[in-house]
Amino acid sequence: MNRIEVSHLIKNYGSNEVLKDLDLTVGDNEVVVMIGPSGSGKSTFLRCLNRLEEPTSGEIIVDGYNLSDPKSDLNQIREKIGMVFQHFNLFKNLTVAENITLAPVELGKMTPAEAKETAKKLLETVGLSEKFDAKPQSLSGGQKQRVAIARALAMKPDILLFDEPTSALDPEMVGDVLAVMKRLAKEGMTMVVVTHEMGFAKEVADRVIFMADGHIVEQGTPQEIFDTPQNERTKDFLNKVL
Ligand code: ADP
Ligand code: MG
């Protein structure tokens, strides 16, 4: 089964063509890592997948739902597809637990008591049990990001999207966040991860996609992309980042 099917996706901002006819399929339990230079359209692509951006044209099917079909319930689709951002986007005036319980309770997916139990379990999973009642400002960047992951998981998503989840972190925090992501991958979560962490890509990705200038230039196993890249632009990019 495919979790995500994208065909002929085009996204323009005014006259700026940002995504130029992208095709991509992501299978169940698959971990896809997207790499590529800044400005190549990686974030825009992720944002189209959960409809934070409206595509100019093309088709996106998530879990069998066609995002561009007016009959599709976008909120229902968004519940299946969690997103973790570079800058965490936690609610500053809520506690850690409240950040996690807010959406499931508001959307009627859980009672407050169930959500609280879920928050406890998820905080254990990300190694932050003792931060249940803490406010986000008292947390380090790495801890905030792990709370953001727990918050996304509270909705029991089928798919998680990560947009440079470790890029805003001090180097010593990166490992803890990547460890949580690795465990999710191992447990079978379907994930699309935009990252500059090439070690993570090598170790965890089922497939690596190199994007440049709104195109998928090349894709393959980590071995294929990192050891024997075929395209000059891929080689050039890897020479700069490795
Ligand atoms: P990446 O994540 O690979 O760095 P982005 O998807 O953020 O790339 O950006 C791709 C291109 O789209 C850039 O040229 C950027 O300036 C442009 N862009 C992104 N978001 C917007 C927006 N909301 N309005 C106008 N242009 C945008
Ligand atoms: Mg980006």
ipTM at complex level: 0.98
**Arithmetic mean of pLDDT, 36-62:** 96
Residue with tokens 């995504």: 19
Q: What is the pLDDT of residue 242?
A: 87
**Arithmetic mean of pLDDT, 179-188:** 97
Spatial CB neighbours of 92, under 8 Å, sequence gap ≥ 6? 135, 136, 137
Model confidence at 1: pLDDT above 90: no
First to last CA, the chain: 34
How far does Cα 242 stand from its chain's mean position?
A: 23
Residue 135 alpha carbon to ligand 1 centre in Å: 32
Residue 4 alpha carbon to ligand 2 centre in Å: 20
Residue 228 alpha carbon to ligand 1 centre in Å: 29
Neighbour-count burial for 3-17, b at 16+ CB within 10 Å, e otherwise: bbbbeebbbeeeeee
**Arithmetic mean of pLDDT, 160-165:** 98
Neighbour-count burial for 75-97, b at 16+ CB within 10 Å, e otherwise: eebbbbbbbbbbebebeeeebbb
Nearest bound ligand to the CA of residue 168: 2
Ligand 1 interacting residues, C-beta cut-off 6 A: 13, 16, 18, 36, 38-44
**Arithmetic mean of pLDDT, 132-160:** 98
**Arithmetic mean of pLDDT, 41-63:** 96
Which ligand 1 atom is the nearest neighbour of the CA of 46? 6
pLDDT tens for residues 89-126? 999 999 999 999 999 999 999 999 999 999 999 999 99
Residue 18 alpha carbon to ligand 1 centre in Å: 7
Q: What is the pLDDT of residue 152?
A: 97
Residue with tokens 């986007």: 89
* Cα–Cα distance for residue pair 195/146, rounded to 1 Å: 16
Residue among 9, 19, 44, 53 to mutate when testing ligand 1 (max atoms within 8 A of CB):
44
Q: What is the pLDDT of residue 68?
A: 85
pLDDT tens for residues 188-242? 999 999 999 999 999 999 999 999 999 999 999 999 999 999 999 999 999 999 8
Please check whether residue 154 is in contact with residue 118, taking contact to mean a CB–CB distance below 8 angstroms.
Answer: yes
Residue with tokens 């071995």: 223
**Arithmetic mean of pLDDT, 155-161:** 97
**Average model confidence (pLDDT) across the chain:** 97
**Arithmetic mean of pLDDT, 33-61:** 97
* Cα–Cα distance for residue pair 122/117, rounded to 1 Å: 9
Which ligand 1 atom is the nearest neighbour of the CA of 40? 3
Q: What is the residue type of 12?
A: N
